[in-house]
Amino acid sequence: MSKRWQTIVLVGIAATLFLIPNLFWGNLYIVGGDDARLYYLYPLEYLKNFSFNVMSGNTLGGNLGYTPVSYSAPLIVVFLFLKTILPFVNTQLVSYGISFSLGFLFFYLFLQEWNTRKTPFYFWSSVVASLSYLLSLYLLRTFFQSQFISLFLRMAMPGSLYLFVSGLNRKSVSRVIASSLFYSLFGASVYGFPWLLPVLLTLIPLLIYFAVRHGKFFWKMALVFVGVFVLCNVYWIIHYIIPVLYNSGEANYTASLTASSFIQRNNDLIETITYLNSPVHQIAHYLRISWQDRGNITLVQTLGVIYLSVITGAGILLGRVKKDIRVLYLVASSGLLLSMLFETPNFGSWSVRLFQFLNTHIPFFVIFRNMYDKFALAMAFNYAFTLWISFMVIIESKILRPVVYILLVLTLGVTLFRSIPYVSITGGNGVSTRIGALNQDYMDLARYIKNMHTASRFVWYPMTFGDYVYIADRNLPNHYYVGISPLQIFAQASDLAGFYGLQTPGDPELNWKVLGMLQQGKFTEVGNMLKQQNVGYVIVNNEKAPLSVPFVLEQFDFMKSQTEQYKKTILGEKIRDFGSRYSLYAINPEFRSPAVFLSDAEIPFRKSSDGAYDIGPFTTSGKTNLTLMEPYSRLWTLAPPQGTDVMAYGYGNQWALTEPGTFHVKAEFWPNKLIVPSIVFSIVAAVIATVYCVVMWI
Amino acid sequence: MRHRLIFPSLVLIPVIAGVLFADIAVAFNYSDLPFLIAFVIYTVFILIQRSRSSLTFSIAMLLLIYMGLSYIPTGASRVTERFGEWFYLFFLFGLIQYAIEIRGAQ
């Protein structure tokens, strides 16, 4: 088989993979859920109004505290680019197609870094292994189901690894830099870490192999990779460093992950999740992803055992092949066994104990608590890599060529056949979460709110249990966006959409307290809670909730408990209607509270676009407290300084003014000042690195 | 000394098989103890016989087949799972054994 034909076959497979989502999945956007996925439809709004906020306005439908959410910005820039140059195509499906085809090609190229033989067998074994990676149930049942932005890791990880390995093999620094740049662009940075770190953990045998083979050069290149990554990602890394350096005191995601109570709670969860998949599942290359997924593995799915049969068979034949292949088999199989162990630690009780030990003693290991999902990419990669090297072992051991080809065809058939049920997109129960665009009433509402320039927050009526909002499609009946509230994306306004959004860093149990208040009809207390959360307006959603997604929207009668009486209690003056779908109200004046106030008086203030507040002038006659209803952090500063910042109402900031006098102060969250410089720094670093790579390749 | 033990050590094979099948028959209440017992004995057996890793991989393959055979009548039952656990451990043991062989060859 000539090289030309091999290229034609590869391009044909890549093109087919690209076309699958674009030809067979319609032209609607798959939206909603915890990730919103509206960045495919509205990338510019996402970047302008949401991506780079670090304190207020950095959470959709809730309150996260000081956390950067710009992890997805490079990818969203790519979507924006696609939408600009191809305005009539579905950006989401095109990018899915790209990730499919490039995922396949990069894995193939990665394998070629080990393969110096160009015979048809080696070619086809690489193709089969690459397809088994891309169509692995471990990817299809995790990334493909949730469709979080991290799904681009299926392309970014093999792409980055290929460039890194080729850089090592060719002693090329520019390839290693390109590897780091590629991961920075497509890896969803910090959001991709929960999947990337397991890959690195299971690639430890491979990394040791590189370290032994390339000596100091490997360590230098590893340093180059990390260095370029850090420089190009300063725009979000810096916001993880500041709270540590300044001991800023706010409860944030990072802090909660290291809390011992959280870790202990998750040891129990780990033990439970271990029973979700049995060793049979890992061995048959199958995955259960939820407790609803009760059925046994189907007969077709059990055919996945062919992978481990080939791998084990190759182990028996190891003695017959050259040393370099034997060593590579050892390295790849070790990675596979590590993946299998962590994917679901159920190879005896020792493996559960080991996982719990790591969870308890290794900081942040707790992010792998739902290990069947987090180690899925590692499983897919290691399975495919070990399968490929096993084929190498089998052919090198001089077994009859037809037997080898039968094995290849069987493996390919099993891979394709098993993947079919999970590659197709199906609708559900008459209501679809695929849309063409959000309805015009919602867009009018968002535009109106944006022009209000208010520092107050908005609460939805009714709030939902899953912290989701439901927004109908512009044209199609029964098509809804059901996901976290995108108000921040369109209106730059913070809102409370549901149960989980009620939690605050200062009072993580507030949502349960509110549920109790609602169930007991204590609506005034709920109103006071809204007051303490700086809620100034109520958005009434007049549309009925789509009934087929009640589990997401309604639990514990949370929606039902928000009765007409509750509505009457919290509503103030009507501001206006937006079509028949939405009505905007001021909150009942009893519960209205400005964003900035003194304990005993309201005072003038103005919020500027960068989140700073110009407060005053105002006069005090004695001791009083100045309250700013923005998420609490010690990194809020008053200029000139006034006392110590303490948390107010489990949410905001408060300073004691001890001396009477006239004040005119400026309150600002000073890390906001670093947002633009850090972005500029990252862009400059990325441009320099790119130019270096281009110059070196020319 | 080792040469004198080669023949008698063959008796360890039924001992290991006995532990394995007793475990499958829930004699050890599916604890980790049979793993420990079996692999300690198997290590002694390997040291005496100087068996290659291919033997261990062959045992792993046999266990994989047993797992498949168990799956047909019982599905993903505890017995089938236990065969899977034994398979994993023998495969792991084979890899470790193989790594030692490579080091020895160097």
CA of A422 vs chain B CAs: smallest distance (Å) = 21
* pLDDT in the model for residue B59: 94
**pTM, two decimal places:** 0.90
* pLDDT in the model for residue A342: 92
* Cis amide bond preceding A421, omega within 30: no
* pLDDT in the model for residue A95: 94
* pLDDT in the model for residue A63: 63
DSSP lists the bridge partners of residue A582 as A541, A578
DSSP lists the bridge partners of residue A461 as A540
* pLDDT in the model for residue A261: 72
Nearest to A52 by CA among A687, A688, A671: A671
Provide the residue count of chain A: 698
Measured between beta carbons, the chain B residues lying within 8 angstroms of A308 are 64
Measured between beta carbons, the chain B residues lying within 8 angstroms of A349 are 31-32
> In terms of CA atoms, which chain B residue is nearest residue A334?
B95
Lookup result for tokens 């770190």: A197
Q: What is the DSSP letter of B11?
A: G
Q: Sheet containing A661-669: which strands, arranged edge to edge?
A: A605-607, A613-620, A661-669, A636-639
Using the beta-carbon criterion (under 8 Å), do A348 and B89 form an inter-chain contact? yes
Strands A661-669 and A613-620, how do they pair?
antiparallel
Q: Which structure tokens are listed for A50?
A: 């949401």
Nearest to A348 by CA among B92, B53, B62, B74: B92
Q: Please check whether residue A463 is in contact with residue A555, taking contact to mean a CB–CB distance below 8 angstroms.
A: no
Angle of helix B78-105 relative to helix B33-49, nearest 10 degrees, comes to: 30
* pLDDT in the model for residue A444: 95
Q: Where are the beta strands (DSSP E) in A112-162?
A: none
> Element (H or E) spanning A447, and its range?
helix A440-452
Distance CA A352, CA A357 (A): 8
* Residues of chain A below pLDDT 50: none
Distance CA A76, CA A81 (A): 8
Q: Which structure tokens are listed for A58?
A: 């950095």
- Consecutive 10-residue runs of chain B (106 residues): their mean pLDDT? 73 88 84 91 89 91 92 84 93 93 76
* pLDDT in the model for residue A62: 63
Provide DSSP, A17-67.
HHHHHHHHS-S-EE--BTT--TTTT-HHHHIIIIIT--BTB-STTS---S-
Distance CA A274, CA A290 (A): 12
Residue percentage of chain A with pLDDT more than 90: 48
Distance CA B63, CA A49 (A): 58
∠ at Cα A126 (A106, A397), nearest 5°? 145
Q: Please check whether residue A174 is in contact with residue A696, taking contact to mean a CB–CB distance below 8 angstroms.
A: yes
CA of A269 vs chain B CAs: smallest distance (Å) = 21
Strands A646-648 and A596-598, how do they pair?
unpaired
Report the half-sphere exposure of A316 (CA within 13 A, side-chain side): 13
Q: Mutate which of A347, A379, A386 to test chain B, going by most B C-beta atoms within 10 A? A: A347
Q: Mutate which of B37, B70, B92 to test chain A, going by most A C-beta atoms within 10 A? A: B92
* pLDDT in the model for residue A554: 82
* pLDDT in the model for residue A259: 67
Measured between beta carbons, the chain A residues lying within 8 angstroms of B32 are 348-350
Q: Please check whether residue A557 is in contact with residue A496, taking contact to mean a CB–CB distance below 8 angstroms.
A: no
Q: Please check whether residue A454 is in contact with residue A170, taking contact to mean a CB–CB distance below 8 angstroms.
A: no
Alpha-carbon B50 to chain mean position: 15
Q: How far apart are the first and last CA of chain A?
A: 31
Q: Which structure tokens are listed for A491?
A: 């209106």
Strands A613-620 and A624-628, how do they pair?
unpaired
Q: Please check whether residue A458 is in contact with residue A498, taking contact to mean a CB–CB distance below 8 angstroms.
A: no
